Amino acid sequence: MKIIMLGAPGAGKGTQAKMIADKYAVPHVSTGDIFRANIKEGTELGKEAKKYMDQGLLVPDELTVKILLDRVAKEDCANGYVLDGFPRTIPQAEVLDKALTELGDKIDFAINVDVPDENIVKRMGGRRACLACGATYHIEHIPPKTEGICDRCGQELILRDDDKAETVMNRLQVYHDQTQPLIDFYNAKGVLKEVDGTVDMKEVFNAIVDILG
């Protein structure tokens, strides 16, 4: 079972990816984690990726796919995997698709966690973080016992720049420009499935389980 998770930043696709990986005992494959692991282990692919990252450049699609295929070729991916954070663009999807086809393989499901922009802005704008101990809260869903104060260490909670409405809107615009077309791409391949990401996290997960069977 090879799955790609799609959805806007803040839609909760990473959380769902982890839950799917746990339930079906397949690896949760995040491109960020793979890059870090390859760089830490000093692999040839890692050294190549590091050259770009050290210059603040994006790692080219072909190299990203090479690193990804190297990861999914490992024994723990024999029964499948959940891809999170890749592909982000049509060229990446095409390179991945071509590489998998050459291996006689393919993606089984592309699951889009659908959440309207205004919900995401509200959801992310409600996040609060403690810079002292790293604890995170949400003013509606996981409020601290005392408003603005961390339960764990008593320090002040802040709204991170990443979660401010203006930043979130910018990230959503990039998503709609670059990643939204992937929905059409995977729909054309007949593997796209959509779930309503506005409901409770467990309900979203149950809807995904129904799709995966």
User: What is the pLDDT tens value at each position of the chain, 213 positions in all?
Assistant: 999 999 998 899 989 999 999 999 999 998 888 888 999 999 999 999 999 888 888 888 889 988 999 998 899 998 999 999 889 889 999 999 998 999 889 999 999 999 999 999 998 999 999 999 989 999 988 999 999 999 999 999 999 988 999 999 998 998 898 888 999 999 999 999 999 999 999 999 999 999 998
Establish if 143 belongs to a structural domain: no
Is there a catalytic annotation at residue 171? yes
45: Cβ contacts below 8 Å, ≥ 6 apart: 38, 63, 66, 67, 70
Active-site choice (2, 13, 66, 128): 13
Which long-range CB contacts under 8 A does 48-57 form with residues at least 24 apart? none
- Check 2, 66, 127, 128 and give the catalytic one: 127
In a domain, 196, yes or no: yes
Which residue of the set 2, 88, 123, 128 is catalytic?
88
Domain that holds residue 179: 2-117+169-212
Tally of structural domains, the chain:
1
Q: What is the pLDDT of residue 19?
A: 95
Packing angle, helices 31-41 and 44-54, rounded to 10: 110
- Residue 128, in any domain of the structure: no
Instruction: Give the CATH number for residue 53.
Output: 3.40.50.300
Distance CA 62, CA 84 (A): 17
DSSP state of 85: S
